[in-house]
Amino acid sequence: MNNNNPMPKTDASCRFVLAITGASGAPFADALIKRMAQEPTVAEVMLISTPTGRRCFLGEVGCSLDDCARRFEKIITLDENDLGAEISSGSVRHGGMAVVPCSMGTLGRIASGTSDNLIVRAADVCLKEKRPLVLCVRESPLNRIHLENMLRAHDAGAIVMPLAPTFYHRPKTIEDICDAFATRIMERLGIVQEDGRNWSG
């Protein structure tokens, strides 16, 4: 049963952080939650979301983020305002973090090192500890501030991965599009899966 109490400690490389912020693209986060929850090598996913992220998730996925998380024992929800949570410290090791989708506001705070909530603090910890940080940014069109913030985050060590799905595998549903992209995010976190949808030439 899902709750706010952490699971027993496991190999740090099997624990990951997933953040959801207030930009369109919640179905990608939903696909990633399902993929990671079902992946045997993943022991725990620490899930953080902003209020706007939860609102977008409800509107785009059709169920609340809390209801989605409760279905999977591996998903542990954390309060975005809890700056005392364990992942605020670099001494607590894990395999990396993905922000899906990553709003331009969150990107800007990460790029400037403004740790005003747990999402930004956890991202800052990833950068300083040289752990994978995948920022699945979502905005269009992009202005100069957005582009400069992406470059700053990239230069600090983040992987800037816009929500730009592939179509060469000829997806038939939105779910297939999002699931294929979720596997690419997991690869950036070091979770490699066999996937017949990869480009074959």
Q: Return the CATH number of the domain spanning residue range 12-188.
A: 3.40.50.1950
Helix (H), strand (E) counts: the chain: 7, 6
Domain ranges of the chain: 12-188
Closest to 91 in 3D by CA, of 131, 118, 119, 132: 131
Per-residue pLDDT of the chain (201 residues; tens, 9 = 90+): 344 444 344 567 799 999 999 999 999 999 999 999 999 999 999 999 999 999 999 999 999 999 999 999 999 999 999 999 999 999 999 999 999 999 999 999 999 999 999 999 999 999 999 999 999 999 999 999 999 999 999 999 999 999 999 898 899 999 999 999 999 999 999 998 777 666 666
Which structure tokens are listed for 168?
């060469």
> Cα(121)–Cα(110) distance, rounded to whole angstroms?
8
**Full-model pTM:** 0.91
> Cα(37)–Cα(32) distance, rounded to whole angstroms?
8
Q: Please check whether residue 54 is in contact with residue 23, taking contact to mean a CB–CB distance below 8 angstroms.
A: no
Which residue blocks in 77-173 are alpha helix, DSSP H?
A: 104-112, 118-128, 144-156
**Residue 62, Cβ neighbours under 10 Å: how many?**
11
> Cα(38)–Cα(58) distance, rounded to whole angstroms?
22
